[in-house]
Chains A and B, each alone.
Chain A
Amino acid sequence: MANVLLTQQCVRSCPYCFAKKHMADSEPDDILTWDNMIYIADLMESSNEMGLSLLGGEPTLHPQFVDFVMYLLERRFHVNVFTSGILSEKMFNEAERALSAVSPDRFSFVCNVNNPDKSPFSELENVRRFLKAFGHLTTPGFNIYKPDFNLDFILQYINEYGLHRHIRLGIASPIPGQHNVYVPINKMKDMAKQIVSYLPILERLKIKAGFDCGFPMCIFNEEEIGKLYKHNSGRLSFGCGPAIDIGPDMTVWGCFPLSNIHKKSLYEFNSVHEIRDYYRNLHQKVRTEVAGIFDECDDCVYREEMLCMGGCLAHSYNHFLKEANVRFKEIYQ
């Protein structure tokens, strides 16, 4: 599955946002055109990849957001939209009319929610309106950017708005060379404890928590891994990319935190597999230099067996930027 950015503009200013630099550098009218959307759809279809995610910035800011979704659905794609849930009145009405009745098999939202205590009232109202209309299509997402996070409000959202009984947990990653808020490596075990502390209530409420990429396995002790394993019915992954992101200007990169590194033109590739292979090879080369975010990753048997990828590659890149340029040159491009 590839991620397609409809726009670089956003409605929020999340402290952990690893797309901040990208958005700051973009033009307001830098939005995906129809012709480029068709090109991307053709590329996906010819690569036999019939699922894609629309994101941003805030994808619903794109004036043709609903049209694009309808178009992609008509072309038999499964469409997933990453959104803040904060839509303009006009867009909300349009989306509700056109999309609320679409089957969850074909269409879904991941609504990345922030703690209500830290959100302005108008934002909250927007999010609630969104969840009320689209809750049946929506998985809540949460980006952890400090170890003492709180998921209680999400549980409430799930119950109140009938969201999918699944929480998509992401870990805020550093943008190499930039300043954003993220969980430092030495605080990850604390974060892990906090995650595990929620498992009992999640199980009581029959809600699953799943990990996005970038979580290293060894921040959890053996007992915690066992609990997570049971919680996820044996499906546990500590992977790291590459996630293919396609920008509105038809550039492509290997994942958002690394969006300034090794950016290529989409037209250089003939298929999605080619893109994935390209970045996989590149990331592998980086991992050859630095296996993972901990020193122990170098000798870790679970990393060698690919049970864990050694955490987010962005941490490794951050590592390189602080040292002299002694490694192979592609790392620094």
Chain B
Amino acid sequence: MREHILVCPFDESLLSRLHDESLVVIAPNFEQIPHVYHTAMQRSNRVICVVVYSKGSLAAVPFHESWKGIPIAIYAGEMGPFKEFMMRLPLIRDLNIRIFLNSDKKENFTALHIISSLHINCGLEFGESDFDWEALNDLMTYALYGKVHHGVMEPFQFIASRYNPERLTDFGTVYFNNPNIYLHIDKDENIAISRKDLQKGNFIAKGLNELNDIKKNKKFEEALHEWQNFFLQNNTCAFCPSWRVCMGKFTDTIERNPGCQKFFADLMEATDHFLASEHKKREREVWQL
């Protein structure tokens, strides 16, 4: 089995050519989740999770019994009416699911707070708009310092639990954007290191056979070491005390929306606290990143 996990759209033709792979499959809609999962599982493939990207509200998601046992990631625009979400809660609790809400909407920070407090694993997806770093800090504080057991919240949990002082901690992994682990492929077998690159046409290779020797691919190797450009250019991020858990992900917005340095410094402290506390939370088995 290949080292990399492939992130691909649900395309039956493509899937028929994939054998013995680890896959993250993007389903076109919610209704097809079971079909996507079972189709992808054929030919000895291991499905890490099925992803659905939606701009609609969580309350409108047609959660279904047939989703039980399927590892799922849902990206939604907002929580929607609380009562409607609550009605779906018993079923959601029975699912192997992680729910992401976008930072573009201020209300989503509170929504994630609510969802996590109700023991649902969730996460914040960083959007295109500037957001309030203080609100993010509050959410992180809850995620890592919370007084009582609650649903895991990403990317905070990932950073705190995977942090290793000897290595960089790339929370892009939470969103399948880490070339060390994930490669993105479209139905035409174009390969990229992230979903954004795939959408923009920034390919590093084409063809499934290229995957076999991807480590020898020059563009791939450059992608792995792209972080070094921060150091070569003496970018502000290279001098940041929290570089190791951020890796310059907010470098483009640092001037107009400063606050990342303080936030990640607090996150590093929280991570130290998290590691030192030796508090093991027993989680439901959720598909692993």
Contact = CB atoms under 8 A, between A and B. Distances in A.
B276 interface: no
Interface string B83-120: 10010010000000000000000000010011001100
A153 interface: no
28 contacts: A33-B110, A34-B110, A34-B113, A34-B114, A35-B110, A35-B113, A35-B138, A38-B113, A38-B114, A38-B117, A38-B142, A41-B117, A42-B117, A42-B146, A42-B148, A42-B150, A43-B147, A46-B147, A46-B148, A64-B82, A67-B83, A70-B82, A70-B83, A71-B86, A71-B114, A74-B118, A75-B117, A98-B83
Contacts of B118: 71, 74-75
Interface of B: 82-83, 86, 89, 110, 113-114, 117-118, 138, 142, 146-148, 150
Nearest to B82: A67
A330 B114 CA distance: 39
Contacts of A34: 110, 113-114
Nearest to A67: B82
A151 B113 CA distance: 45
Interface in A39-61: 41-43, 45-46
A83 B129 CA distance: 42
B213 to A, nearest CB: 50
A64 B81 CA distance: 11
B83 A66 contact: yes
A49 to B, nearest CB: 12
Interface residues of A, number: 17
A100 to B, nearest CB: 14
A181 B142 CA distance: 44
A74 B147 CA distance: 18
Contacts of B150: 42
A74 B114 CA distance: 11
Mostly, the A contact residues are: helix
A74 B113 CA distance: 15
A64 B79 CA distance: 15
Contacts of B147: 42-43, 45-46
B82 A45 contact: no
Contacts of A71: 82, 86, 114, 118
B115 to A, nearest CB: 11
A270 to B, nearest CB: 8
A231 B99 CA distance: 55
Given A35-B138, A45-B147, A70-B83, 11 more contacts: A34-B114, A35-B113, A38-B142, A41-B117, A42-B117, A42-B150, A46-B147, A70-B86, A71-B82, A71-B114, A74-B86
A42 B147 CA distance: 6
Contacts of A70: 82-83, 86
A120 to B, nearest CB: 32
A43 B150 CA distance: 13
Interface string A69-83: 011001100000000
Contacts of B113: 34-35, 38
Contacts of B117: 38, 41-42, 75
Q: When A and B form their complex, which 10 residue pairs have the shortest distance between CB atoms, in order from nearest?
A: A46-B147, A67-B82, A42-B147, A45-B148, A34-B110, A38-B117, A42-B148, A46-B148, A70-B86, A38-B113
| Centre residue among B83, B142, B147 by max chain A CB count within 10 A | B147
A202 B117 CA distance: 44
B152 to A, nearest CB: 16
Contacts of A42: 117, 146-148, 150
